[in-house]
Amino acid sequence: MRWRRRGEIIRAERAKRWATAKDFARATGLSESLIDIIENGRRGNFSPATMAAIEEALDWADGSFIRVGEGGHPQRMRDADLQRIHRVWPELSADARRILATLAETGVSGRGSSRRRR
């Protein structure tokens, strides 16, 4: 079953960085019971937020959760700085997240937060 394969891959990837599912749950912001369901392949339908939390924690590119569930392989994020941001994101305060978002917008638009006002 594809769900089981996805769970096995996620568990193996998780074990490379987190000793326990509890630590991984904390890093993703998901419950331990949901991590258990995913890692043991007991369900296949998850919210976009759940899939994104797993992808971010594992440094997978968007869509990798689904790709693995369809029999493919996860794609890694290619940008090392983006990987660093994803790794620390769950630990950042709301203010720190806003600052990073503002810096990113400033770098893209060259006009600070004016991009949000369009």
Same domain assignment for residues 32 and 10: yes
Does the structure show a pLDDT above 90 at 28? Answer: yes
Q: What is the pLDDT of residue 35?
A: 97
* 3-class SS shares of the chain: helix, strand, coil, % to 5: 70, 0, 30
Q: What is the pLDDT of residue 111?
A: 54
5, 68 contact by CB (below 8 A): yes
What is the Rg, in whole angstroms, of the alpha carbon atoms belonging to the chain?
A: 16
The span from the CA of 112 to the CA of 116, in Å, is 9
Residue corresponding to tokens 């996860």: 74
pTM value? 0.66
Its domain, for residue 27, covers 2-69
pLDDT band at 110 (very low <50, low <70, confident <90, very high): low
DSSP secondary structure code for residue 77 in this structure: P
Same domain assignment for residues 64 and 100: no
Same domain assignment for residues 58 and 92: no
β-partners of residue 76 are: 60
In a domain, 75, yes or no: no
Q: 87-105: per-residue pLDDT in tens?
A: 788 888 999 989 998 998 8
Same domain assignment for residues 64 and 90: no
Q: 11-21: per-residue pLDDT in tens?
A: 999 999 998 99
Same domain assignment for residues 59 and 90: no
Q: 52-89: per-residue pLDDT in tens?
A: 999 989 989 889 999 999 999 998 877 777 777 877 88
In a domain, 74, yes or no: no
Same domain assignment for residues 10 and 64: yes
Same domain assignment for residues 26 and 54: yes
Number of alpha carbons in the 13 Å side-chain half-sphere of residue 33? 0
The CATH number linked to 11 is 1.10.260.40
